[in-house]
């Protein structure tokens, strides 16, 4: 499996960030989560399907909504968007395998529950050392 995804956020519909893994955090994760949740809600009102992707400078963002959760990943624009979206589907499936409905339904708001999720999806996430190697080789 190719490691395409650089940054990842998993949000509730309300914008609460359950999990995030970001290389260079320039903006608060909860602020980002609230903004993307609001944009997706707005897009759903207009198009009934919500956002699926967008681009900013040299990054592309892929969004996937499942149940009441929003999965957001970014990757280099050099990567095929379909492959990034496919990788995001795998992450979504692992999330729901690991955090089954009863766990999510009874969740008390403590996001520490999701801290170890990165270990479950390491094979999907580009690591900082790999990113540095690419820059120098």
Three-state SS string over 58-115 comes to CEEEEEEEECCEEEEEEEECCCCHHHHHHHHHHHHHHHHHHCCHHHHHCCCCCHHHHC
Residue at 128 is within a domain: yes
Picking from 9, 70, 23, the residue whose alpha carbon sits closest to that of residue 44 is 70
Residue at 89 is within a domain: yes
- Count of structural domains within the chain: 1
Host domain of residue 31: 7-108+121-136
Q: Tens digit of pLDDT for each residue in 40-53?
A: 888 888 887 788 88
Residue at 2 is within a domain: no
Residue at 114 is within a domain: no
Residue at 64 is within a domain: yes
Full-prediction pTM beyond 0.75? yes
Q: Which of 3-7, 55-59, 110-114, 129-133 has the highest mean pLDDT?
A: 110-114
Contact 40, 27 (CB under 8 A): no
Domain with residue 127: its CATH number is 3.30.450.30
Residue at 76 is within a domain: yes
- For residue 125, CA distances in Å to 72, 89, 117 come to 13, 13, 12
Q: Tens digit of pLDDT for each residue in 10-39?
A: 999 888 999 999 877 777 888 888 888 888
């Amino acid at each position: 499996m190719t490691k395409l995804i650089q940054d990842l956020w998993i949000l509730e519909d309300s914008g609460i960030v359950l999990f995030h893994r970001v290389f260079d955090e320039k903006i608060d994760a909860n602020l980002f989560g609230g903004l993307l949740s609001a944009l997706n809600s707005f897009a759903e009102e207009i198009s009934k399907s919500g956002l699926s992707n967008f681009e900013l400078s040299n990054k592309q963002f892929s969004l996937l909504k499942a149940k009441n959760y929003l999965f957001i990943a970014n990757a280099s624009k050099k990567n095929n968007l379909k492959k990034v979206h496919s990788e995001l589907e795998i992450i979504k499936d692992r999330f729901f395998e690991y955090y089954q409905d009863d766990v999510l339904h009874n969740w008390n708001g403590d996001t520490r529950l999701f801290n170890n999720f990165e270990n479950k999806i390491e094979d999907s996430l580009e690591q900082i050392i790999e990113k540095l190697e690419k820059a120098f080789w």
